[in-house]
Chains A and B, each alone.
Chain A
Amino acid sequence: EVQLVESGGGLVQRGGSLRLSCAASGFTFSSYWMTWVRQAPGKGLEWVANLNEDGSEKYYVDSVKGRFTISRDNAKNSLYLQLNSLRVEDTAVYYCVRDPDWGQGTLVTVSS
């Protein structure tokens, strides 16, 4: 059974940083592209970033370029998202995705 378990969310002040983690199991992690998707409270889904199997190709939505960094550790079956220079509008539930499977999400709240 595929499991994706996010952690690392929390309350942070504007301009602060957080590191989200996603522990993957139930599949060969190193063989798949991985993705982060977020959902602001009461809003729709927004693709944030993805990267390829060995982490050499990374892509970001324009609104997070230069502030967020996606990475992975295939030896630890883990995906990460480093969030820097956080803005109030980054407040959202962040989901780890290996299509078609999604984690349960971790909530990031940025206060002003």
Chain B
Amino acid sequence: QSALTQPASVSGSPGQSITISCTGTSGDVGGYSYVSWYQQHPGKAPKLIISDVSNRPSGVSNRFSGSKSGNTASLTISGLQAEDEADYYCNSYSSSSSWVFGGGTKLTVL
């Protein structure tokens, strides 16, 4: 039940694209197609923005996209906007019906 590895922080200017990585093991990220990404603004509950590696829930901007290669999942945000500044967490299904989260990445829009 070790946490998934994310960079502590990333930054980008408005209009640019950024990618956040999420590295796990074959027992979680690499073994299942159940990787989710959550966006969390200060003082708010997390909001699901990507499920099942690359699916966008209804209402989520198509500027958000997800992918996976081996034991690493990635979240890409294109056309950065000021409101994208938030904390981002990856999450994966793991063995024994458990979940595991990444440590979180703080996105700063310069």
Contact = CB atoms under 8 A, between A and B. Distances in A.
Interface of A: 35, 37, 44-47, 50, 57, 59, 61-62, 95, 99-100, 102-105
Contact of A102 (B3, B46, B51): B46
B46 A45 contact: yes
10 contacts: A44-B101, A44-B102, A45-B46, A45-B91, A45-B101, A47-B100, A50-B99, A57-B97, A59-B98, A104-B45
Given A47-B98, A47-B100, A50-B97, A61 B1 contact: yes
Interface residues of B, number: 23
Interface of B: 1, 3, 36, 38, 40, 45-48, 51, 57, 87, 89, 91, 96-104
Main secondary structure of the interface of B (DSSP, over half): strand
Nearest to B57: A100
B45 A102 contact: yes
Contact of B89 (A45, A100, A103, A105): A45
A45 B104 contact: yes
Given A50-B99, A59-B98, A105-B45, A44 B57 contact: no
Listed residue (A45, A61, A102, A104) with the most chain B CB atoms within 10 angstroms of its CB: A45
Contact of A46 (B40, B45, B101): B101
Contacts of B103: 44
A67 to B, nearest CB: 15
Contacts of A50: 97-99
A26 to B, nearest CB: 15
Contacts of B91: 45, 47
Given A47-B99, A62-B1, 16 more contacts: A37-B99, A37-B101, A44-B87, A44-B102, A44-B104, A45-B40, A45-B91, A45-B104, A47-B100, A57-B97, A59-B96, A61-B98, A100-B57, A102-B46, A102-B47, A105-B45
Nearest to A101: B48
